[in-house]
């Protein structure tokens, strides 16, 4: 054989032919693997465990839907569920609050950077510190809140000791850093607002609220979306504040689903893994509504961008 | 349930120390201990114990890990099931249950039989489940009413022995603008102490234990009688306000500042009260008063323990360590005023010369014929305890909710004990 001719059947290798498909898959593989092991599979495991009675150590007994039936009659679960709703609704206040502080701070005055950082400061604090500071603020006798109330001759109030008020007290504490977060999102968003459009709006006679509503806000839509996402997520993981400020009490009135799940499954007196998993499944379904909405929204945006 | 000192006298008579036998063999390798003695005082004691035991056995290395006491309550499961250490800390009685059932604690009945624990006969009961022994105790402490002696003197009061005297005393205290009792129920268990005593005094120790074992419904009239007595105190303003917001430590200043005159607590509170500036002249102790005459008094005296993990690698060293910790000399040392400041479990050990420890020892050895309970959260199954204590806290804030609370507890009882 003197010469090696190219066999027409030899063509590019399989790898070469499929490079466009294989490369992204290879790049995605590690991430997908971890996502599967740490997120997807545990979700299905939780679904599975929720059909068992299991203390985490011994034998698991299959009990079908009994855990869910118990949830239906469990008053603590009901309270936790309602508290979750309160958190979700009231936590959203952080978005308008953040917007107005951002609008207020979006001006050029000497020292504005200092003011901005002061407003941003609470977000830098750990949730645990925020919780501690607020629980001191609410203290029934020494607390600042009651000091002020007494000064104005009003009745003192034990916010964290009153089952009707405690949840609102904790949400107020959570709003403090969350408002700062939304404010920062809007401040960056405001930088991107097109001055020409503002100018054009002004020529057309838009002022005040109209200007805000028809010219500024539509341009802030991406910031609003992100603010909404982080606030919803923040409301659903309110665990640390509750744990620090009331530990779920008084008599369980400030629990949310994540806290109740922890208590039932993992705390000192818990270890009902099946029941905890059933709570986790309910929490997951609630989250799924929001996750579905977020994904749909992002998909829409992407489609629009491609058009 | 179990009287630690029922056989106290007999145990005192037996003064020979047989546990020396365990030390004879040469120990080698590593002994791994995980301890929950994380508060400063106990931590020093535990570190001292480990160091001394290490020094006793030249070929043996003692590896000590100290875990935060509260965190340990949830970590012990993982610690025992994955790569278990040799020796761990835990609590006596019912709290051992889950780990025994899961096969995580080693059955050390043989070591008890072999005479490793001379002088501990009286506490053996608290370590027994299913007729076997699963660990050894190393300390315990009394509960009772710690009060401000100086305020009592100022008001012309004396230690109450009966419920009538108690109520009369309390009325005087309330009229003087103070609260009778400080308490912080944020973490619930302090309310459990009140229920333990009120129920043991109203219905007796045996009834209390029947309730703990789930044999009596919570809606029973006798349980209601206990709550009725409790309500007497609540209605007259005996407890400080807003107690649901405080931890037990945050409730201490009320007593130290004289806004409340007494505290139903374990002996560990004494240290904190002294640190808060109260002298022994201002502080004193009395046994919880009798409510139903003629009932033998039961007492809370929680016991802390050592256990060997069933997956222990160095069983010989673990055995020697348990014998070492419970021996009379070591017991005297670690429970002394320089150490834990509590009661030794070994009958041959001497009790520290401290006003409160001495009174506690006397009370438990002579005045607790009813029996010794561990505590609400240790005698009741864990889940029942947590639901129960939440109900007790609610009762202390809203006594009118009693019917609702009892029905809830009863529903929980029927589910948990089935």
Beta-carbon contacts below 8 Å between A and B: 67
Q: What is the pLDDT, as a whole number, of residue A6?
A: 57
Going through chain A in order, the beta strands assigned E by DSSP cover: 52-53, 61-62
Tell me if B403 sits within 8 A of B413, measured CB to CB: no
Q: What's the CA gap between B100 and B310, in Å, rounded?
A: 10
B71, B79, B105, B244, best to mutate vs chain A, most A CBs in 10 Å: B244
Q: What is the pLDDT, as a whole number, of residue B7?
A: 39
Q: What is the pLDDT, as a whole number, of residue A4?
A: 55
Parent domain of A113: 49-194+223-306
Kindly identify which residue of chain A lies nearest to residue B404, measuring between CA atoms.
A75
Contact B245 A58 (CB under 8 A): no
Tell me if B240 sits within 8 A of B254, measured CB to CB: yes
Q: C-alpha angle B298/B300/B301, rounded to 5°?
A: 120
Q: What is the pLDDT, as a whole number, of residue B268?
A: 86
Asked, for residue A182, whether it belongs to a domain, the answer is yes
Q: What's the CA gap between A171 and A218, in Å, rounded?
A: 29
- Contacts of residues A130-134 at CB distance under 8 Å and 24 or more positions apart, as own/partner, are A130/A173, A130/A174, A130/A176, A130/A177, A130/A241, A131/A170, A131/A173, A131/A240, A131/A241, A131/A243, A131/A244, A131/A245, A132/A244, A133/A173, A134/A169, A134/A170, A134/A172, A134/A173, A134/A176, A134/A245
- Contacts of residues A72-79 at CB distance under 8 Å and 24 or more positions apart, as own/partner, are A75/B408, A76/A252, A76/A255, A76/A260, A77/A257, A77/A260, A77/A279, A79/A252, A79/A253, A79/A255
Domains in chain B, please, with CATH? 8-140+302-349 (3.40.190.10), 143-300+373-416 (3.40.190.10)
Tokens of B301: 């005296």
Write the CB contacts of B127 (distance below 8 Å, at least 6 apart in sequence): B92, B96, B133, B134, B135, B136, B137, B305
- Looking at CA atoms only, how far is residue A281 from chain B in angstroms? 21
Contact A56 B390 (CB under 8 A): no
Contact A269 B390 (CB under 8 A): no
* Count of CB atoms situated within 10 Å of the CB of A276: 25
DSSP B290: B
Tell me the angle at which helices A94-105 and A221-236 cross, rounded to the nearest 10 degrees: 130
Give which of A74, A131, A53, A46 is closest to A252, Cα–Cα. Answer: A74
**In whole angstroms, how large is the CA radius of gyration of chain A?**
27
**In whole angstroms, how large is the CA radius of gyration of chain B?**
22
Asked, for residue A1, whether it belongs to a domain, the answer is no
Give which of A165, A189, A27 is closest to A103, Cα–Cα. Answer: A189
Asked, for residue A120, whether it belongs to a domain, the answer is yes
Tokens of B77: 């499961």
Length of chain A measured in residues: 307
Contact A247 B186 (CB under 8 A): yes
Contact A268 B74 (CB under 8 A): yes
* One pLDDT digit (tens) per residue for chain B, 418 residues: 444 443 333 333 333 334 444 444 578 889 999 999 988 788 999 999 999 999 999 899 999 999 998 889 888 888 998 889 999 999 988 888 888 888 899 999 999 999 888 888 878 888 888 899 999 999 999 999 999 999 999 999 999 999 999 999 999 999 999 999 999 999 899 999 999 999 999 999 999 999 998 999 999 999 999 999 999 999 999 999 999 999 899 999 999 999 999 999 999 888 889 889 999 999 999 999 999 999 999 999 999 999 999 999 999 999 999 999 999 999 999 998 888 888 998 888 888 888 898 899 889 888 888 888 899 988 898 889 989 999 999 999 999 999 999 999 999 999 888 7
Determine phi and psi for A262, rounding to 5 degrees.
-60, -45
Chunked in runs of 10, what are the mean pLDDT values of chain A (307 residues)?
57 82 91 94 94 84 91 91 94 94 87 88 90 92 89 88 92 94 92 87 85 88 91 89 88 92 84 91 92 90 84
Give which of B141, B117, B45 is closest to B347, Cα–Cα. Answer: B117
Asked, for residue A137, whether it belongs to a domain, the answer is yes
- Closest by Cβ to B187, choosing from A55, A247, A263: A247
Q: What is the pLDDT, as a whole number, of residue A107?
A: 82
Asked, for residue A117, whether it belongs to a domain, the answer is yes
Tell me if A54 sits within 8 A of B101, measured CB to CB: no
Give which of B9, B72, B108, B169 is closest to B309, Cα–Cα. Answer: B108
The CATH number covering residue A141 comes to 1.10.3720.10
Contacts of B102 in chain A (CB under 8 A): 55, 57-58
Question: What are the angstrom distances between the C-alpha of A106 and each of A96, A100, A112, A186, B37?
Answer: 15, 10, 9, 9, 54
Tokens of B169: 């005393």
Contact A249 B186 (CB under 8 A): yes
Contact B408 A75 (CB under 8 A): yes
Tokens of A99: 């917007």
- Looking at CA atoms only, how far is residue B201 from chain A in angstroms? 26
B98, B100, B245, B311, best to mutate vs chain A, most A CBs in 10 Å: B245
Tell me if B327 sits within 8 A of B23, measured CB to CB: no
- Looking at CA atoms only, how far is residue A222 from chain B in angstroms? 42
Contact B390 A249 (CB under 8 A): yes
ipTM above 0.95, yes or no: no
Q: What is the pLDDT, as a whole number, of residue B25?
A: 58
Edge-to-edge strand order for the sheet containing B283-286?
B179-181, B260-266, B143-148, B283-286
Contacts of A161 in chain B (CB under 8 A): 242, 244-245, 397
Q: What's the CA gap between B343 and B218, in Å, rounded?
A: 33
Give which of B234, B392, B390 is closest to A249, Cα–Cα. Answer: B390
SS3 A193: coil
- Closest by Cβ to B245, choosing from A55, A58, A140: A140
Kindly identify which residue of chain B lies nearest to residue A251, measuring between CA atoms.
B390
Give which of B279, B296, B276 is closest to B287, Cα–Cα. Answer: B296
Q: What is the pLDDT, as a whole number, of residue A8?
A: 58
Residue whose tokens read 């989250």: A287
Q: What's the CA gap between B261 and B181, in Å, rounded?
A: 6
Contacts of B188 in chain A (CB under 8 A): 249
- Domain tally, chain A: 1
């Amino acid at each position: 054989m003197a010469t090696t001719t190219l066999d027409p059947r030899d063509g590019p290798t399989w790898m070469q032919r499929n490079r466009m498909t294989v490369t992204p898959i290879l790049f995605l593989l590690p991430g997908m693997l971890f996502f599967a092991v740490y997120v997807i599979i545990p979700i299905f495991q939780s679904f599975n465990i929720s059909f068992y009675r299991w203390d985490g150590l011994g034998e698991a007994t299959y009990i079908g839907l009994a855990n869910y039936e118990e949830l239906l009659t469990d008053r603590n679960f009901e309270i936790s569920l309602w508290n979750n709703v309160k958190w979700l609704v009231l936590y959203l206040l952080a978005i308008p609050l953040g917007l107005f502080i951002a609008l207020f701070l979006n001006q050029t005055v000497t020292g504005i950077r200092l003011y901005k950082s002061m407003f941003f400061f609470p977000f830098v604090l750990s949730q645990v510190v925020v919780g501690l500071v607020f629980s001191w603020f609410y203290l029934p006798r020494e607390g600042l809140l009651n000091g002020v109330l007494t000064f104005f001759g009003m009745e003192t109030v034990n916010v964290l000791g009153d089952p009707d008020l405690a949840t609102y007290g904790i949400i107020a504490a959570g709003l403090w850093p969350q408002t700062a977060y939304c404010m920062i999102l809007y401040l960056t968003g405001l930088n991107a607002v097109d001055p020409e459009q503002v100018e054009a709006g002004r020529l057309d006679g838009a002022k005040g609220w109209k200007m805000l509503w028809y010219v500024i806000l539509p341009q802030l839509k991406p910031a609003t979306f992100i603010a909404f996402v982080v606030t919803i997520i923040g409301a659903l993981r309110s665990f640390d504040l509750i744990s620090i400020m009331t530990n779920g009490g008084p008599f369980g009135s400030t629990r949310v689903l994540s806290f109740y799940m922890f208590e039932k499954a993992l705390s000192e007196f818990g270890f009902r893994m099946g029941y905890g998993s059933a709570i986790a499944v309910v929490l997951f379904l609630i989250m799924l509504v929001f996750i579905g909405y977020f994904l749909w929204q992002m998909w829409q945006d992407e489609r629009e961008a491609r058009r | 349930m179990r009287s630690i000192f029922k056989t106290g006298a007999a145990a005192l008579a037996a003064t020979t120390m047989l546990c020396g036998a365990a030390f004879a063999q040469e120990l080698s390798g590593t002994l791994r201990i995980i301890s929950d003695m994380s508060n400063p005082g106990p931590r020093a004691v535990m570190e001292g114990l480990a160091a001394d035991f290490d020094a006793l056995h030249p070929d043996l290395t003692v590896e000590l890990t100290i875990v935060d006491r509260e965190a340990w309550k949830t970590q012990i499961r993982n610690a025992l099931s994955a790569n278990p250490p040799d020796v761990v800390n835990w609590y006596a009685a019912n709290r051992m249950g889950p780990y025994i059932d899961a096969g995580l604690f080693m059955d050390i009945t043989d070591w008890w039989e072999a005479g490793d624990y001379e002088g501990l006969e009286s506490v053996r009961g608290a370590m027994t489940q299913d007729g076997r022994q699963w660990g050894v105790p190393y300390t315990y402490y009394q509960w009772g009413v710690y009060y401000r002696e100086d305020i009592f003197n100022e008001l012309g009061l004396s230690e109450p022995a009966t419920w009538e005297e108690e109520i009369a005393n309390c009325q005087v205290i309330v009229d003087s603008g103070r609260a009778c009792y400080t308490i912080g129920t944020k973490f619930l268990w302090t309310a459990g102490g009140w229920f333990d005593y009120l129920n043991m005094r109203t219905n007796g120790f045996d009834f209390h234990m029947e309730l703990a074992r789930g044999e009596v419904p919570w809606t029973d009239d006798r349980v209601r009688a206990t709550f009725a007595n409790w309500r007497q105190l609540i209605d007259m303003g005996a407890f400080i306000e807003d107690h649901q917001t405080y931890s037990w430590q945050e409730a201490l200043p009320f007593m130290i500042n004289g806004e409340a005159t007494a505290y139903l607590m374990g002996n560990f509170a004494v240290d904190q009260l002294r640190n808060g500036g109260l002298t022994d002249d201002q502080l004193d102790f009395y046994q919880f008063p009798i409510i139903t005459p003629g009932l033998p008094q039961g007492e809370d005296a929680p016991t802390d323990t050592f256990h060997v993990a069933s997956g222990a690698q160095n069983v010989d060293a673990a055995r020697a360590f348990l014998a070492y910790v419970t021996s009379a000399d070591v017991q005297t040392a670690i429970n002394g005023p320089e150490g834990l400041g509590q009661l030794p479990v070994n009958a041959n050990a001497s009790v520290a010369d401290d006003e409160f420890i001495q009174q506690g020892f006397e009370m438990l050895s002579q005045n607790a014929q009813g029996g010794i309970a561990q505590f609400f959260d240790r005698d009741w199954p864990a889940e029942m305890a947590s639901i129960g204590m939440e109900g007790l806290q609610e009762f202390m804030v809203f006594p009118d909710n009693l019917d609702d609370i009892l029905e809830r507890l009863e529903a929980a009882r029927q589910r948990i004990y089935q």
